[in-house]
Amino acid sequence: MLVHLSRVGFVHVRRALLLFAIVLGFAALAAAISQAPRRTGANRAPIAAPLPEAEVRPPVRLELSARGRPRSLRLAAGNAATLTVSVPEPGQVELQDPALTSPAEPSTPASFPLLIGRPARYPVLFTAADSDEPRRIGTVIVRR
Residue 41 lies in a domain: no
Q: Would you say 64 and 71 are in contact if contact means Cβ atoms under 8 Å apart?
A: yes
pLDDT at 61: 95
pLDDT at 7: 64
Do 73 and 119 belong to one domain?
yes
The CA distance from 96 to 98, in Å, is 6
What residue spans of the chain are helical by DSSP H? 2-34
Residues 87-137 pLDDT 10s: 999 999 999 877 899 999 999 999 999 998 889 999 999 999 999 999 999
- Residue span of the structural domain in which 136 resides: 60-143
Do 18 and 64 belong to one domain?
no
Residue 48 lies in a domain: no
Residues 7-33 pLDDT 10s: 667 778 888 888 888 988 888 888 878
pTM for this entry: 0.60
Nearest to 91 by CA among 104, 102, 76: 104
> Is the predicted pLDDT of residue 45 greater than 90, yes or no?
no
User: What own/partner pairs with CB < 8 Å and gap ≥ 24 does 58-63 have?
Assistant: 59/113, 59/114, 62/114, 62/140
